[in-house]
Structure 1
Amino acid sequence: MTRLLYRLGRGCAAHPWRVLAGWLLVFATVFTLAGTVGGPTQENWDVPGARAQHGIDLLRQHVPGAGNATARVVLHGDRPVAPADLTTLTHRLATMPHAATVSEPRLSTDGDTAVLEVGYDVPVTDPELFGKIGALDSAVEPMKDAGYQVELNGDVPENATSPMQGRGELIGIIAALLILLFAFGSVVSAGLPIGSALVGLGVGAGGLTVLAGLTDVSTMAPTVATMVGLGVGIDYALLLVTRHAEFLRAGFTPVEAAGRATATAGRSVVFAAGTVLVSLMGLRLAGLPTYTSFGFATAIAVVGVAAASLTVVPVLCRLAGRRVLPRGVRRERTRSREPFTARWAARVGRRPLPWAIGAALVMVMLALPVLDLRTWPGDPGDQSQSVTTRRAHDLIAAEFGVGANTDYTVVAGPSVSDAGVEQAHAAVAALPGVAEVGPVTASPDGALHVFRVVPRFGDSDARTGGLVADIRAELPSGVELTGRTPYFSDITGMLGARLWIVIAFVVSVSMLLLAMVFRSVLLPVKAAAMNLLSVAASYGVMVAVFQWGWGAGLLGVDHSFPVSAWMPVLIFAVLFGLSMDYEVFLLSRVRERWLDSGDARGSVVAGLTDTGRVISAAAAIMVAVFLGFASEVDWTVKQLGIGMAVAVFLDATLVRMVLVPATMSLLGRWNWWLPAWLDRLLPTVSVEDDPAELEEPVRA
């Protein structure tokens, strides 16, 4: 790999305009494919493994429009709602595109609030419906003009009223420029990584469009792909630029420096990208189509930015010449003071045990709230009060009871007798958690019998899972409990069980890759343990902020609620890969110093000195990007941003700057212990070794 990467980097630097022309051709090809076979993002929320899915499939087979999109219109006034206004509103809703049914208005006890439910003839994921409420807004506009408060709820409004504002990407790019400029003292060095990352993201965006034309891709997938791709793309390019600058300072020409930087740091980029891809592929084991699309979409972005780093960075470094170096270095001014990272690593190395114990205790304390972790996919009542779905939720809860916002439906199949249906109806009504049971209705073909269940509490209540289990325990064979709430309860249980499968796969494969590269047993185990500790601390902070409400007001959250069930698996897969990036960057330089000197403790100090500034700058950029996403309105995106920002911050500070040097100093030569039999068994993959096979150095 050394010679191949050297030739790639040197060739790109020697022929910059050919490389740029090649990237233009790649752009043209990818976007031509995107325009011909590509398609829009589209959700696929069917989960065959969920028990509630069977009930949904039965309804779709026998009840026209059942299992498709829904919307609720809540009409509220300071006087009883006029029947004529309800008639007008019903007619306008019924004439909307794809509107199949409009329910009879349900009036509150005092008559000042009415709820109408619209059923559509297509699923909410249909491109003509998903994220679009223009028809609903037009239909209810006369009611607003008549003085009513009109709020919207249900599938269609919930997926259209909290659009992404794009703050994360903008904040991340601006923060990256400022951080890199401050850290490296060169406008060129600050701009190169961002330029390379944007090139890779551009190609990745085209590739994602092609993927969306071939399979269903979640509408959230581009957000996750951009978040991760921007971060790792800057990381990879920054690593290459830093190594290129080192070779320039050593006297090599820009072309030769580019080749050597790609041969050394480029191997770290290849391996780090590989560990991220392993983590992303672990998302497929979660068993949900949405996660599969997250994994593939983000993998496309990671491959794009890695390819751009290995080819575009050498080109830009060649064109920039010695302007990559800070002005003081170009003018041969040198700093006499030892870098902060060197002083810090030496301080930790002198007394490693207290530092290791202190950092570990802080991480464990932050992780402790995870013992109280409770998850739920989502609830409109958890959104900001600035969103119409939250206001509709609150109106329904106040006028009809909190359980009126839920959706429990009992479906009796063709094999169930009338007596069996009545028995199930009576048994469910007698349960203590049930507030009301609706009348039994038959499907148009008479094959199914259906009735609705209203609980005494809301969706995200801790008692929901127990009530779902209690209802199912009362249902005879052939009768299913379905609806949004049981469906989400099933997904929550599935994700909780699958999380351990994802963790086992990602951790084991990552440890194997680290053992192959660094020829050690203890280092992969230590790296996996520390990365898991970072993720656990991130979960703990999310519980404290969102579930316990500590400081939630600073994020615009007005009450506590469970952590999104989508978060644990997604955050683990993404963050474990990102943490391994930093681990590879640091350990590769430590190993290089170890092979040169044989000094176990000195190699740790030297390795941290070489990479500390790069890792710190890269992590600061990542944190800024993720905090930018935490500023979005949607609470799920907020949780994703906070969780990832906390984990990266802890990983780059307590883990990488304290726990790693402390534990490696304690272990000494045992860091590099590998049994002879395992050494023979494992393939050898070198990262960041001296490129001895390269041609004779060409110096300026």
Structure 2
Amino acid sequence: MTMESLFFLVTNGHDEGASFMSALAHWCVRHRRIVISSWFLVAVGLVAAVVLGGTAFTTSSDMPDSESSKAYALLAQMPSSGSSGKIGKIVWHSTAGPVTSAAVKTEVTAVLDEVAKQAGVVKVVSPYTVAASGDTAYAQVVVSSDADVAPIEKVVTGAEVDGVTFTYGGDAFQEQISSSNGSSEILGLIAALVLLMLMFRAWRAALLPLITGVVGVLVSLLLVMVGSHVVTLSSTSITMAAMMGLAVGIDYALFVVNRTRKGLLAGKTVPDAIARAIDTSGRAVIFAGLTVIVALIGIRVVGLGVLTGMGEAAAVTVAVTVAAALTLLPALLGAFGLKVLSKKQRARLAQGVVEEHAPRLAGKWAALVQRVPWLVAPLALAAVVLLAIPVLQMRVGDSDASSDPATSATHRYYAMSSAAFGDGFDNPLMIAASTPDAPSRAAFTALATELKSVTGVATVTPVAKSADGTVQSVTIIPKSSAQAEATTTLIETLHGDVIPAAEAGTTMKAYVGGSAATTQDLSDALLGRLPLYLGIIAVLGFLLLAIAFRSLLVPLVGALSNITSILAGLGAITAVFQFGWGSGLLGVGSGAPITYIVPVLIVGIVFGLSMDYQVFLVSRIHEEWTHGRDNKRAVRVGVTETGRVIATAALIMLGVFASFAFDGERIVAAIGLGLASAVFIDAFLVRLTLIPALMTMIGKANWYYPCWAEKITPHLAVEGTPEPEPEPHAAPAVSETVLQA
């Protein structure tokens, strides 16, 4: 099904679109064995493709014009040290005397020799570089790029030398830090199952959203693995895709299952109830899914390849989960039939009695909000703003071993090495320069001399030169670690003052490289483009909602409220991961800058999810408005009839995202916590509190739409084909409490 056909199904509110959606549902129900078997065969085929072809995950930042990339391009022209691969360090500290003593040296050398024998080790370089104190030393270990460093770690951690403590760290060991065992994700699914059981009181109905979500995620993850051969994707894309797929997959299925149950309790046959659910909630799923996909693909405007790949991987997952909700779920619903209802409901239905309880809590909440909207709206807005305040102090960058958990090997490595060799021990900055003539070479020599007196510089290595002298470099060891603000200040000083002064009047062009410099370049590029991305998706949200609901104020309030939810999520991340408030509880260590990919992903994902809730809520309000033109009643009915579903969906997402917050990997945990916080705030403070209060105060002006805009705006039928209204004497049809979307 193409994007154009999906758009047609959502935008066409007449018989053609309705008959197609209904026909699709009926076909899936009649041919449920074919549908279920097809999903199974697709999964098996993708598994075979992954087994035969493997994966090709890579990491690319796509920053060809950055200062650091130019430095690396020049360094590539320098003579090779002969060491290809990743470099790590083994550090040891002696409490029984100098590390240079014959006894200590003999036993430590034996440990290093054992390390050198491990598979993947290219060589052990420069052993016994000793600290000034004489009680600590280190050796560099060069390993091949695809080496498994676990055996090396085992040798180091298992070394037994009296009075000597060993640890390890550096680039070669970075990929071994904090890998999830999947237990937290399982806990998230269990929490979702409990919530679904409380909502449906029928285990088959509770399982269906989970089955649909998990199948959609598995198929999409396999697609992402196969797709890694085609587009640039990092391994983190798998986690991102799983996170998005589980959340939206379960939620989308929840809306369809809930709508089907309502239809069954209203007396519809199983095929007709499923068809009606697909023609209403299914449309909303398509519309919501497309907005999420557009937001994720829109990450491309940021211009960073790794982010683009992660966004595309998550978009694939959303698309597959939408397809699962529209095909696999109807087939499963057809297979279960009336068993998606509880035994009590089936028994009463067989007697011709429809038992349906009005959502009392949601109704009471809607009444409270409408009683004092002038008080509720400022309080809700103030709460969201308060939660978003920390974002004003957000620092974007990479964390280093100094902020890793105190019990981790990486933190022990940092503590031991920094105490002996300084905080900048593992944070070298390289200055590479093009020096095509004698004056420029003299200028670089003068620059290297001046660097020794620059604030924040601990040591400067001798100048290295290419064979013809046209490229020269020097390495700086800062006094501070990579994540420290002092390092950022040093890089800015080099960029803004020291290097320009040295270049003046010469042809020399010098650039700063190193991991800290690369991170700063990426962060600067991100912060420069993030406002553009935020603006684009805000305008997109406004236009989509304006077209869907023929209003100016409703989409304006919706778009602005989306931004507040995003900022609140970023505020939570800043408070926990940068300020360190409670970060230890998540097992990610102490406070550190926020990794540059996190804000962009939070912006894109939260926008899409906020749009989901806005569509489900406002579509029901809009439907009620079109029936009676009573704004206050429309808002009350909309909140009453969608509040329970939105709250349950949000709690499920909260559980899924929060489970990733305990992943142990800092980036994944930050994304999980940010999304969990944003979803909770968006659902309960914004959608079910702030929006109803504002819409109540605004009144009929909510639905003002200029005549000229009406003429040029295409029609979207998010609610599907309306059913006949109940008779005036009849009680409110609680069977319509699920979203008419």
Deviations 1:500-552 (A, max 9, x none): 12112222222222222122211221111111111111222222223333333
Q: Are 1:430 and 2:448 matched, yes or no? A: no
**Structure 1 residues 357-366 or 98-107, which shifts more?**
98-107
Deviations 1:293-316 (A, max 9, x none): 101111111111111111111112
Which amino acid counterpart does residue 413 of structure 1 have in structure 2? S
Q: Distance in 2 between matches of 1:167 and 1:40?
A: 26
Selected match of 2:546 from 515, 524, 545:
515
Query: What residue in structure 2 maps to residue 47 of structure 1?
Result: 63
Distance 1:523 1:49, change over 3 A: farther
Which amino acid counterpart does residue 398 of structure 1 have in structure 2? A
Q: Distance in 1 between matches of 2:63 and 2:89?
A: 24
Deviations 1:432-465 (A, max 9, x none): 2212212223357765432221222222122322
Query: What residue in structure 1 maps to residue 739 of structure 2?
Result: none
Contact persistence 1:328–1:334 (CA under 8 A): no
Query: What residue in structure 2 maps to residue 449 of structure 1?
Result: 472
Selected match of 1:395 from 416, 440, 445:
416
Q: Distance in 2 between matches of 1:670 and 1:518?
A: 13
Q: Distance in 1 between matches of 2:513 and 2:84?
A: 10
Q: Are 1:689 and 2:737 matched, yes or no? A: no
| Partner SS state of residue 228, structure 2 | helix
Deviations 1:36-70 (A, max 9, x none): 55524232355323210111122234343689532
CA RMSD of aligned residues (A): 2.4
Which amino acid counterpart does residue 92 of structure 2 have in structure 1? L
> Stretches of 4+ moved more than 6 A in 1?
none
Query: What residue in structure 2 maps to residue 658 of structure 1?
Result: 689
Distance 1:56 1:201, change over 3 A: same
Selected match of 1:263 from 279, 291, 308:
279
TM-score if structure 1 supplies the norm length? 0.93
Aligned pair count reads 686
Query: What residue in structure 2 maps to residue 526 of structure 1?
Result: 557
Report the CA distance between 1:335 and its aligned residue: 5.6
| Partner SS state of residue 403, structure 1 | coil
Q: Are 1:560 and 2:583 matched, yes or no? A: no
Q: Distance in 2 between matches of 1:102 and 1:385?
A: 28
Selected match of 2:674 from 637, 643, 651:
643
Contact persistence 1:384–1:633 (CA under 8 A): no
Query: What residue in structure 1 maps to residue 365 of structure 2?
Result: 344
| Partner SS state of residue 466, structure 1 | helix
Selected match of 2:652 from 618, 621, 635:
621
Contact persistence 1:589–1:607 (CA under 8 A): yes
Selected match of 1:485 from 516, 537, 540:
516
Q: Are 1:80 and 2:98 matched, yes or no? A: yes
| Partner SS state of residue 233, structure 2 | coil
Distance 1:138 1:358, change over 3 A: closer
Contact persistence 1:80–1:112 (CA under 8 A): yes
Query: What residue in structure 1 maps to residue 531 of structure 2?
Result: 500
Distance 1:276 1:63, change over 3 A: farther
Contact persistence 2:428–2:477 (CA under 8 A): yes
Q: Distance in 2 between matches of 1:152 and 1:482?
A: 24
Q: Distance in 2 between matches of 1:555 and 1:592?
A: 43
Selected match of 2:254 from 232, 238, 243:
238
Query: What residue in structure 2 maps to residue 275 of structure 1?
Result: 291
Report the CA distance between 1:482 and its aligned residue: 0.6
Which amino acid counterpart does residue 388 of structure 1 have in structure 2? A
**Structure 1 residues 679-688 or 327-336, which shifts more?**
327-336
Q: Are 1:134 and 2:150 matched, yes or no? A: yes
Query: What residue in structure 2 maps to residue 698 of structure 1?
Result: none
Query: What residue in structure 2 maps to residue 371 of structure 1?
Result: 392
Contact persistence 1:94–1:102 (CA under 8 A): no
Which amino acid counterpart does residue 47 of structure 1 have in structure 2? M
TM-score if structure 2 supplies the norm length? 0.88
Q: Distance in 2 between matches of 1:666 and 1:489?
A: 46
Which amino acid counterpart does residue 596 of structure 1 have in structure 2? H
Write the mapping of 1:162-241 to structure 2, written as runs, cut at 5 A: 162-241=178-257
Contact persistence 1:258–1:314 (CA under 8 A): yes
Q: Distance in 2 between matches of 1:336 and 1:551?
A: 41
Contact persistence 1:406–1:458 (CA under 8 A): yes
Q: Distance in 1 between matches of 2:358 and 2:276?
A: 28
Report the CA distance between 1:9 and its aligned residue: 1.1
Distance 1:27 1:594, change over 3 A: same
Query: What residue in structure 1 maps to residue 734 of structure 2?
Result: none
Contact persistence 1:276–1:577 (CA under 8 A): yes
Deviations 1:159-218 (A, max 9, x none): 112112223421221011001101221111110100111111121021011111223311
| Partner SS state of residue 331, structure 1 | helix
Q: Distance in 1 between matches of 2:701 and 2:492?
A: 51
Report the CA distance between 1:496 and its aligned residue: 1.2
Selected match of 1:597 from 618, 622, 628:
628
Report the CA distance between 1:609 and its aligned residue: 2.1
Gaps in structure 2 of 5+ consecutive residues: 1-8, 10-17, 349-353, 725-741
Write the mapping of 1:468-483 to structure 2, written as runs, cut at 5 A: 468-472=491-495, 473-475=497-499, 476=503, 477-483=508-514
| Partner SS state of residue 514, structure 1 | helix
Which amino acid counterpart does residue 339 of structure 1 have in structure 2? R
Contact persistence 1:592–1:689 (CA under 8 A): no
Report the CA distance between 1:135 and its aligned residue: 4.7
Deviations 1:66-108 (A, max 9, x none): 8953212212222322444555555555565263672353211
Q: Distance in 1 between matches of 2:153 and 2:359?
A: 64
Distance 1:592 1:503, change over 3 A: same
Query: What residue in structure 2 maps to residue 674 of structure 1?
Result: 705
Q: Distance in 2 between matches of 1:225 and 1:335?
A: 37
Which amino acid counterpart does residue 88 of structure 2 have in structure 1? A
Report the CA distance between 1:148 and its aligned residue: 3.3
| Partner SS state of residue 652, structure 1 | helix
Contact persistence 1:158–1:380 (CA under 8 A): no
Selected match of 1:117 from 140, 155, 166:
140
Deviations 1:410-449 (A, max 9, x none): 2233526442221111222121221221222335776543
**Structure 1 residues 141-150 or 561-570, which shifts more?**
141-150
Query: What residue in structure 2 maps to residue 408 of structure 1?
Result: 429
| Partner SS state of residue 52, structure 1 | helix
Contact persistence 2:239–2:668 (CA under 8 A): no
Selected match of 1:571 from 602, 609, 628:
602
Distance 1:152 1:206, change over 3 A: same
Query: What residue in structure 1 maps to residue 638 of structure 2?
Result: 607
Contact persistence 1:260–1:691 (CA under 8 A): no
Q: Distance in 2 between matches of 1:50 and 1:90?
A: 38
Selected match of 2:481 from 427, 436, 458:
458
Which amino acid counterpart does residue 248 of structure 1 have in structure 2? L
**Structure 1 residues 235-244 or 445-454, which shifts more?**
445-454
Gaps in structure 1 of 5+ consecutive residues: 123-127, 694-700
Which amino acid counterpart does residue 549 of structure 2 have in structure 1? F
Q: Are 1:310 and 2:316 matched, yes or no? A: no
Deviations 1:307-326 (A, max 9, x none): 11111111121222222223
Q: Are 1:583 and 2:614 matched, yes or no? A: yes
| Partner SS state of residue 159, structure 1 | helix
Which amino acid counterpart does residue 331 of structure 2 have in structure 1? V
**Structure 1 residues 305-314 or 334-343, which shifts more?**
334-343
Selected match of 2:444 from 397, 421, 432:
421
